[in-house]
Amino acid sequence: MRAMIAVRRAGLIRAWPQVRCFSAFTQHKVGEPGTLEYRMHFQDNNGNKISPWHDIPLKSGEHFNCLIEIPKNTKPKMEVAVKEEMNPIAQDVKKGKLRDYHGPIFWNYGMLPQTWEDPNVTHAETKCNGDNDPVDVVEIGSEALAQGSVEPVKVLGALAMIDDGELDWKIIGIRAGDKLAAELNDIQDVEAKCPGVISGIREWFRWYKTPDGKPLNAFGYEEKALDKKFALEVIEETHGAWKKLRDGSTDKGKLWIGK
Higher pLDDT, 116 or 13: 116
Instruction: Give the mean pLDDT of 105-126.
Output: 97
Burial tier of 173 (Cβ tally within 10 Å: 0-12, 13-18, 19+): buried
**Averaged pLDDT of the chain:** 91
Whether the per-residue pLDDT at 10 is higher than 80: the answer is no
pLDDT, position 23: 62
pLDDT, position 22: 56
185-240 confidence digits (pLDDT tens): 999 999 999 999 999 999 999 999 999 999 999 999 999 999 999 999 999 999 99
Query: Per-residue confidence at 173, pLDDT binned at 50, 70, 90?
Result: very high
Contact by Cβ (8 Å): 109, 139: yes
pLDDT, position 78: 98
pLDDT, position 62: 94
Whether the per-residue pLDDT at 1 is higher than 60: the answer is no
Domain ranges of the chain: 6-247
Please tell me the distance from the alpha carbon of residue 76 to that of residue 61, in angstroms, as a whole number: 31
Whether the per-residue pLDDT at 8 is higher than 80: the answer is no
Whether the per-residue pLDDT at 57 is higher than 80: the answer is yes
CATH of 6-247, picked from 3.90.80.10, 3.40.50.10310, 3.40.50.1980, 3.40.50.300, is: 3.90.80.10
Residue 94 C-alpha from the chain's centroid: 20
pLDDT, position 107: 98
DSSP state of 235: H
Contact by Cβ (8 Å): 29, 39: yes
127-155 confidence digits (pLDDT tens): 999 999 999 999 999 999 999 999 999 99
Please tell me the distance from the alpha carbon of residue 158 to that of residue 172, in angstroms, as a whole number: 5
pLDDT, position 45: 87
DSSP state of 199: H
SS3 of 32-100: the string is CCCCCCCEEEEEECCCCEECCCCCCCCEECCEEEEEEEECCCCCECEEECCCCCCCCEEECEECCEECE
Instruction: Give the mean pLDDT of 157-179.
Output: 97
14-48 confidence digits (pLDDT tens): 332 333 345 678 999 999 999 999 999 999 988 99
Length of the chain: 259
Catalytic residue IDs = 101
Share of the chain above pLDDT 90, in %: 88
Sequence-distant (6+) residues with CB within 8 A of 114 are 53, 54, 56, 57, 58, 239, 242, 243
Instruction: Give the mean pLDDT of 86-98.
Output: 96
